[in-house]
Amino acid sequence: MRSSLRQPVLCLICLSLACAVPQLIAKKKDNNPAPASNEQRRAVHALNRLAFGPRPGEVQQVVAMGVDRWIDLQLHPENISDSALESRMAEFRTLRMTPREMVEEFPDGQMIRQVADGKKPMPNDLARRAIYQVQVVRLEAREEAKKEREAEAVAPPMSTAPPEQDSAMKDAPPAAEGAKTEAELAAAAAADSAGNSAMSNQAMSNQAMSANISSSSMSADAPAAESKSQPVDDAGSRALENRLYADLEVQKLPDLPPHERYKKVLSMPANEQVAFADALRGGKGQDFLAGLEAKQKETLLAMNNPQGVITDELMQAKLLRAIYSERQLQEVMTDFWFNHFNVFINKGADHIFLTSYEQDVIRPHALGKFEDLLVATAKSPAMLFYLDNWLSVGPNSMQALGIPAHPGRYGPYGYPRPNPRRKQNAGLNENYGRELLELHTLSVNGGYTQRDVTEVAKVFTGWTIDKPNEGGGFLFDSRRHEPGPKLVLGHRIKFKGEGEGMQVLHMLATSPQTAHFISLKLAQRFVSDDPPPALVDRMTKTFLKKKGDIREVLSTLFHSPEFWDDSAYRAKVKTPLEFVASAVRATGADVEDAMPLARQLANMGMPLYGAQPPTGYSMKAETWVSSSALLTRMNFAVALTAGKIRGVKVDESQLTADSSSPPDAMLSSLEVKLIAEDVSKQTHDSIVAQIQGAGNSSAKAKPPDAGMIAGLLLGSPEFQRR
Amino acid sequence: MPTRRIFLRNSALAVVGTAAIPSFLARAAFGAVEAGSRNKRLVVIFQRGAADGLNIVVPHGEPQYYAMRPSINIPRKSVIDLNGFFGLHPSLASFQPLWQQRHLAIVHAAGSPDPTRSHFDAQDFMETGTPGIKATDDGWLNRSLRDLPRAAQNSPFRAIALGPSMPRILSGNEAAVAMNNINDFSVGGRGARLSPVATAFEAMYDHSSDAVLHTTGEETFDAVKMLKAADPGKYTPAPNTNYPKGRFGDSLRQLAQLIKANLGVQVAFADIGGWDHHVNEGSTEGQLANVLTEFSQSIAAFWNDLGDLGEDTVIVTMSEFGRTARENGNRGTDHGHANVMFVLGGPVRGGRVYGRWPGLDQSQLYEGRDLALTTDFRQVMAEGVAHHLGNKNLAEVFPGYDSQAGKFLRILG
């Protein structure tokens, strides 16, 4: 009742603000006090900064609650119920799995190879068996094809391979078992696709490309058999026949009721299961999944792409939290810290560590103590793997010197001579040490030297992962740890194993440089690309006084005049994530499948979890304002409100109260709903011209509906800022 | 450090080489090119993932090479010999004619002097043009435009990156367009004219008081309209031009379309991944061979496709660092130091290997394991920027680097 009375009045005031005619406010003062309009503007600002933008009606709710109270509540997410979101998340089982469980249930290439080689048993559980079976068959088919290609290539000329090389290859001793796996893991680590595929959007373009890959590999499979069958090859034509039969069986599946369909798939012979899995490639085959329970759906999807299930659920969860969580500040801060302590999803084993990294390392500390967060990241397998620290070996450690683990066994002296053949690749890895100082704590100008980097790297030798490819956890391996004292930033660190690392992390977490750097980054996220130094200084003081309490630092920020200054209002250009999440929130859309949104983010240059360098994604405007990205944003805005983004339902009645109302009335009401009337005259006039233009041009142009007007507003320059 | 050509044998070859008149000279003789319409272009190609330069341009005259790489070396008889000491990997066969026509030059033992073996950092350094300094946020290719007169038309396509987002190398103050796909570069559908939705957006952005969005928006719609008008779709590849399938071939095919559509491209950037071969790198065949085929055939197709326009085009390739001189225990190579660069183009004095060869003896290796670096990549790029594009303000393009013209390798004639 109250809000319905208040709303039109607020609108008027806001309009007057947008027109930047202060006198109007003065006129209105009589029947409505200025503080109310001020409160509305404050609510918009708070929702734009502490949240991923306002949802329909939310500005009024925050005004009703009182902006300061709302901010205080957001600073204490534990007091906010988030049950609606939790029920949306219930279907994503991998969010509640440990990395170890993930490896078992959603095997990677290495696991499949072990099963194919008979080193690990094929699982008995029917569902799990189906997942493994398809991967094993595909692996064998790939190897078969490779052998054939090699045979073809080598058979005729042979001239390219001279005999000496041939014999060299034969004589090359097979790598020792242990060494081999170690080197392979190291290779996986180095093949951080940093190098591999170009630029930032592997994470997603893998998705996008899987469609192409599937079609080409399918056509490569079947017609390969076809072409070979020309000189009537029995085996070949039989294979083709089997495949056609299998495809027919698969096509019958959607006719079955869900439960029977699921049972049927699990009981199919291997070749039909492969045909089924192929039919799901590239996000196709949605009708096979209709009506199934979450776990059943996951199993079937995993038959096609086991690891894709993990990353898809992680990405969906991130988007759904940004869009629907009531604990908005917690999600904003989780995103902020994840980006600060960035880990790239496509670097080897990190795809199984990221779920837990975000959930157990980042989110619980997002508003807590910085030092706790820093220690948690330092010990996380995700970070240890991403920045290679798990491979770092002290040059004088027992491992590097080749001293066996159980010296007693080797002779009466108990300390055998070091192995003269040191491990070739054993050595310090400075990657983590450097980024810890430069990106996580002190910042690039934080007054450390290359010597400090090397010493810090020595301190963290032995901080490794217990069997990364099996999803193991943190392990301190004293055999890898560099002996002796270290000198870090002028402080002598006594030799005490794992404790050295803890001492250094404490030193860094409490350093004034760190306090300043973190305060600066927070101010850049919440205030402006170049925040006022005085504000950063006050935040730094709070950081130091409150021992790195992030909540306190944010409180200083949110209660500062700089945060509320007019110059900060809508001063930040949204990142693609902020843009997509805020657009979906503004329209009140219902997201059934967030993957199409994730693909949009990749097209805008910000694939989720896909920032390859340890710097994470930029928060600054210039990064996100490119031609390609702007066009993608405009196209997304129009597609979203036209209901053309699969899996995202925009309720047009949500957008406009009365679809029969004339377009300009619709425009006014949408300006209020979507962008709190912060629309420039230019934008407003451009849309009006579009409406009138469509009215005048007689023939085919239909009058713009609410969807199109909404799309234009969401693609406008104003909506690109928060 | 004075640089000298690697082998005098080169000059012997040069005598043979002059028999074939460089095709651009032949073309110029017909006077087909008007001086006024000439628009110099620099195309930079990044091989992301650290390509194995020693197996790409093979020092087959170096006995150490074969000793250090027992299973992955390129046998002498398979190498495409260039000058009796260096030879091309056989998968670079499509480069051979370009070498013979003297359009293609090679700089060996080149790269970034920073010792990092991190892909992240090393790529970053080669894009910002300030090795060792992470705080630089713009790219050298963008800075190279700053003091450069614009081409005849004030084109939004002056600087173009093929890909969905702006790479570091082209980020910065100068306008640049990132384009993933020519066909998607519009709003509200393709069509020859702007759609009504696009018109509305254009009006909003053109008149916006938001400086950042206004500028990019204006550039974007200029580019969209210009692209629609130029209709690059009609510039199909030249006869006998076969771009290999894949992202890199697509990038160069589209770049050729933009150039042929006379859109005023001055600098362009494309990249190709898949070079990080720690395991089973292969020799004449295998992983490296496959990606080299895609790499060289795409570039050769691009060159062929450009036709006369190649005369004003210089293409330079780079990769963040090389790989270990020795093969590792997995028939692959690990992260190393110096690498090889290719320079292709009309003004290139090709058919030569530039730079000083540091040797592969143990004492000559960098940190005892990698090819040592004798040419800073900035030396090569600076020559392209100053000599070809005509921007002499190198202190701004490569701050902190003493890139005087006197130090150039004189790759460009």
Expressed in angstroms, the distance from the first to the final Cα of chain B is 21
Residue B336: inside a domain, yes or no?
yes
Residue B27: inside a domain, yes or no?
no
Nearest to A598 by CA among A232, A341, A345: A345
pLDDT in tens, B14-61: 333 333 333 333 333 333 333 334 689 999 999 998 999 999 999 999
Nearest to A326 by CA among A529, A545, A81, A10: A81
DSSP strands (E only) in A444-512: 463-465, 474-476, 486-488, 491-493
Residue B99: inside a domain, yes or no?
no
Distance CA(A717)–CA(A579), nearest Å, equals 11
Per-residue 3-state assignment (H helix, E strand, C coil) for A601-647:
HHHCCCCCCCCCCCCCCCCCHHHHCCHHHHHHHHHHHHHHHCCCCCC
Contacts of B119 in chain A (CB under 8 A): 190, 192, 194-195
Is the pTM for the entire model greater than 0.90? no
**pLDDT of res. A703:** 62
Domain assignment of residue B130, given as a range:
41-84+114-284+305-407
Looking at CA atoms only, how far is residue B175 from chain A in angstroms?
A: 9
Contacts of B90 in chain A (CB under 8 A): 160
DSSP letter at B243 equals P
The answer on pLDDT for B316 being more than 60 is: yes
Q: Do B212 and A193 touch (CB under 8 A)?
A: no
Q: Do A717 and B208 touch (CB under 8 A)?
A: yes
Which of A34-38, B130-134, B272-276 is predicted least confidently?
A: A34-38
Residue B132: inside a domain, yes or no?
yes
Residue B18: inside a domain, yes or no?
no
Per the model's pLDDT, the better-predicted residue between B361 and B153 turns out to be B361
- Is A186 an 8 Å CB contact of chain B? yes
Which of A649-663, B91-105, B351-365 is predicted least confidently?
A: A649-663
| Closest Cβ–Cβ partner in A191, A438, A627 for B219 | A627
Which ranges of chain A have pLDDT less than 70?
A: 1-36, 153-233, 406-426, 657-659, 694-704
- Is B294 an 8 Å CB contact of chain A? no
Question: What are the tokens at B40?
Answer: 């110099």
Distance CA(B249)–CA(B272), nearest Å, equals 9
Number of domains into which chain B is organized:
1
Distance CA(B328)–CA(B48), nearest Å, equals 21
Contacts of B198 in chain A (CB under 8 A): 634
Looking at CA atoms only, how far is residue B288 from chain A in angstroms?
A: 12
Sign of CA dihedral A259, A265, A268, A272: positive
Contact A14, A59 (CB under 8 A): no
Q: Do B49 and A194 touch (CB under 8 A)?
A: yes
| Closest Cβ–Cβ partner in A603, A621, A680 for B208 | A680
Residue B362 exposed, middle or buried by CB count within 10 Å (0-12, 13-18, 19+): exposed
**pLDDT of res. A661:** 76
The answer on pLDDT for B305 being more than 60 is: yes
What is the share, in percent, of chain B residues with pLDDT greater than 70? 89
Residue B265: inside a domain, yes or no?
yes
**Sequence-distant (≥ 6) Cβ neighbours of residue A387 within 8 angstroms:** A431, A432, A435, A614
**pLDDT of res. B7:** 30
- Helical H runs in A58-125? 58-65, 67-74, 83-89, 99-105, 109-116
| Closest Cβ–Cβ partner in B208, B283, B335 for A682 | B208
Residue A182 identity (one-letter amino acid): E
Helix (H, G, I), strand (E, B) or coil at A650: coil
Q: Produce one character per residue of A450-464: b if its CB has 16 or more CB atoms within 10 Å, e if not.
A: eebbbbbbbbbbbbb
**Residues facing residue B45 across a β-bridge:** B270, B317
Q: How far is CA A673 from its chain centroid?
A: 30
Q: Do B224 and A186 touch (CB under 8 A)?
A: no
Residue B108: inside a domain, yes or no?
no
The answer on pLDDT for B231 being more than 60 is: yes
**Sequence-distant (≥ 6) Cβ neighbours of residue A169 within 8 angstroms:** B71
Residue B388: inside a domain, yes or no?
yes
Contacts of B278 in chain A (CB under 8 A): 183, 186-187, 190-191
Helix (H, G, I), strand (E, B) or coil at A679: coil
Helix (H, G, I), strand (E, B) or coil at A649: strand
Looking at CA atoms only, how far is residue B331 from chain A in angstroms?
A: 10
Residue B390 identity (one-letter amino acid): G
DSSP strands (E only) in B113-179: 159-162, 177-179
Contact B121, A615 (CB under 8 A): no
The answer on pLDDT for B160 being more than 60 is: yes
> What average pLDDT does this structure show over B365-388?
95
A 42-81 residues with CB < 8 A to B = none
**pLDDT of res. A216:** 33
